[in-house]
Amino acid sequence: MTVELLGYRYSVYSWVARLALHEKGVDYTWSEVDPFSGDVPPHYTDLHPFNRVPTLVHDGFAVYETGAITRYVDEAFPGPCLQPDVPQARARQNQILSVVDSYGYWPLVRQVFAHGIFRPHVGEAIDPAALRAGLETSEAVLSALDRLADESGFLVGNGLSLADVHLFPMVAYFAMVPDASAILRQRKKLAGWYDRMDARATVAATRPGLPDSSVS
Ligand SMILES: N[C@@H](CCC(=O)N[C@@H](CS)C(=O)NCC(=O)O)C(=O)O
């Protein structure tokens, strides 16, 4: 059996897929593809016509779109079940995945993390208006997620689910910006959830870090 994850080391969606594989205990190989490089290799475009990352290939079966990858990983491999059985909890999990993709990714990651941390770190120009807009939009996104989060300590039901796996990397990148961390800390339920997730061994094993600051 072969499992290959093609992704970019600093990509938050690649981190989500890696976290799911680690939580599930699946052995996989990693192939680095930088979707921002401008010269994505043709073999990758054949797998992913939109040139985004990640893509998973399992014994010749290729799947892209992170929510599809993590559901596939949960359903195709043994290990702890990462999706609740109860219809309401399953719906809440899927709702959170959709909220994260539709409303969270852009402000949290592409505006706040990119302009507040990543770009300055590698010496790229930043757009302060994008950072401000991202922080403002994130207030509403994190408030909605704080309302949706279960009281159990996980986002949904009584155990780790794909909702936790999908959201954590985005909030982890976001919270590296001090003003963003303050926004998270004002949402008590979400802040407690974040701290518990942050302590997981799988998070430590997959956390991307930042590039060498001499890289530009
Ligand atoms: N809908 C895609 C989104 C993936 C995505 O946007 N990945 C980012 C990296 S985190 C990417 O490839 N960006 C390249 C670009 O925007 O050109 C998924 O769920 O996998």
- Using only C-alpha atoms, what is the Rg of the chain? 17
101-124: per-residue pLDDT in tens?
A: 999 999 999 999 999 999 999 999
Average pLDDT over residues 86-90: 97
Please report the pLDDT score of residue 175 as a whole number. 98
Ligand 1 pocket residue status of 53, Cβ below 6 Å: yes
Q: According to DSSP H, which parts of 48-187 are helical? A: 66-76, 87-99, 119-122, 128-148, 162-174, 178-186
153-201: per-residue pLDDT in tens?
A: 999 988 999 999 999 999 999 999 999 999 999 999 999 999 999 999 9
Q: Which atom of ligand 1 is nearest to the CA of 14?
A: 10
Tell me the whole-structure pTM to 2 decimals: 0.98
Please report the pLDDT score of residue 216 as a whole number. 45
Average pLDDT over residues 84-104: 98
Most ligand 1 atoms within 8 A of CB, residue of 39, 50, 53 to mutate = 53
Share above pLDDT 70 across residues of the chain, in percent, rounded to a whole number: 99
Residue 213's pLDDT band, with cuts at 50, 70 and 90, is: confident
Residue 151: alpha-carbon gap to chain centroid: 22
Q: Which atom of ligand 1 is nearest to the CA of 69?
A: 20
Residue 214's pLDDT band, with cuts at 50, 70 and 90, is: low
Ligand 1 pocket residue status of 65, Cβ below 6 Å: yes
Mean of all residue pLDDT scores within the chain: 97
Measure the CA–CA gap between 203 and 189, rounded to whole angstroms. 19
8-22: per-residue pLDDT in tens?
A: 999 999 999 999 999
What is the helix (H) or strand (E) element at residue 156, kind and residue range?
Answer: none
Domains of the chain: 3-76 (3.40.30.10), 87-206 (1.20.1050.10)
Yes or no: say if 115 and 180 are a contact pair by the CB < 8 Å rule: no
Ligand 1 pocket residue status of 12, Cβ below 6 Å: yes
Ligand 1 pocket residue status of 66, Cβ below 6 Å: yes
Q: Strand 29-32 to strand 3-7: parallel, antiparallel, or no bridges (unpaired)?
A: parallel
CA of 152 to the centre of ligand 1 (A): 31
